[in-house]
Structure 1
């Protein structure tokens, strides 16, 4: 009986090791990643040009960050968005010098706002080596 409980514990979806990008709100009250372009630099680091759409409403409610995660949800890099983009939607901001281990071929890019946190659409991005 105990062996079955151990097997169930480690095969349960609660302990899934992959980040789930299919569970999100499509409301623009949450920051939505709309497009990501990536390029690899000669030094082996990556640049991410990330477009975000959000219902920015001044300093009280705006998209304030995007981040790059591996498929287990570990953060590999991020970009802080320092101000609201009320009149620029969607907007694109870049971040370079993001180090990604060579064995990683796919990453997730997600964004958040200062009021609702994460919860909008994230994108799965394939890294072309």
Structure 2
């Protein structure tokens, strides 16, 4: 009996969660730093699995700013959120945006955004 149950559990495999997808992003320079707006899509299931943040990084991975998403957006897909006051080093021509989910953490893939 134990072997049958174990076999059923192994056949089922782990639950597969998916990274949030960055559909697009914009940047605008201002007197108090840069403002970024990022549009995400994620197959959210509510509090069990949702996109819970994104961040702006340099090419080398230095984090310039992080936007925390405090709740699921399962009924609002895709959705856009903004972050302002981000200090981008002089001479930077592009930044990378990385999304985070409550299940998988920070995604490996990044979205490259050329700065205007």
What TM-score results when the alignment is normalised by the length of structure 2? Answer: 0.81
Map of 1:63 onto structure 2: 51
1:113 corresponds, among 88, 92, 101, to: 101
Q: Which structure 1 segments of 5+ residues have no match?
A: 1-26
**Distance of 2:22 and 2:55 partners within structure 1:** 10
**2:53–2:100: 8 Å Cα contact kept in structure 1?**
yes
Which consecutive aligned stretches of 4+ in structure 1 deviate over 2 angstroms post-superposition? 118-122
In our comparison, the structure showing a higher alpha carbon Rg is 2
SS at match of 1:60: coil
**1:55–1:86: 8 Å Cα contact kept in structure 2?**
yes
CA shift for structure 1 position 120: 6.2
Alignment: residue pair count: 101
CA shift for structure 1 position 119: 2.5
**Distance of 1:120 and 1:73 partners within structure 2:** 11
**Distance of 1:40 and 1:28 partners within structure 2:** 35
- The Cα RMSD (Å) is 1.6
**Matching of residue 85 in structure 1 with residue 99 in structure 2:** no
Map of 2:24 onto structure 1: 35
**1:80-126 deviation line (CA, Å, top 9, x unaligned):** 00100001111000011101111211110110101011226421011
Q: Which structure 2 segments of 5+ residues have no match?
A: 1-15
